[in-house]
Amino acid sequence: MILKNFYLSIFILLSLNTWSLNIDNEKDYCVGYFEELYWSLDPIEEEKIRNEIKAYFNQNYSGSEKLDFDLYYNTKTKQFITDWQNTDVSKYIKVNYPNFEIIILDAYINLFIDGENYCPAFWDRCSEESLNYFFKAAEDFSKDWQGEDEVLFYLENNLKNHQCSKFLNTSINQKKFISHLNILIKELTN
């Protein structure tokens, strides 16, 4: 009986450890996925398509309609200012982030700052396994992405039920988002 309980305990511990690894692998994968998704949607300049993407997010992600942030960028510090309400913003560059960019960036940043480093977004002390999942997501995204002319088809048929969609959130605090965005900018400009 004691031996049976010992084996059961070992099995449970191994199962929990494997489950934990699967969550980490999924997060690494989703960092890669959201990076690809963001860099595919962000450069779309045609106003009609951008408005359709915003409308898609408003219809499918409750609370998205309030996520349209005007942020103010300080070129000297290379950071967005977090206290814009009490600041003369005329000396800063105004940048608008629509709902879809905020939601995707928020999920992306939250996933890579979750650990002790910024892996795999910045390859910071990453295991080979982390990087493999990250690049697998990029490869999978490339297979499904058909370009901006098919963006709504992609969102409806791929994003809506994608395994990473569970990390998309619309309860986003603007100041916290700016702080996280500043981490991303700092890492990108290093």
Count of CA atoms in the C-beta half-sphere (13 A) of 14: 6
pTM: 0.83
Residue 104 exposed, middle or buried by CB count within 10 Å (0-12, 13-18, 19+): buried
pLDDT in tens, 117-166: 677 777 777 888 989 999 999 999 999 999 888 999 999 999 988 999 99
In tens, the pLDDT along 7-20 reads 334 444 333 333 33
At residue 138, the pLDDT reads 92
pLDDT 10s digits, 21-73: 476 789 999 999 999 999 999 999 999 999 999 999 999 999 999 999 999 99
**Alpha-carbon torsion 36, 40, 41, 43, what sign?**
positive
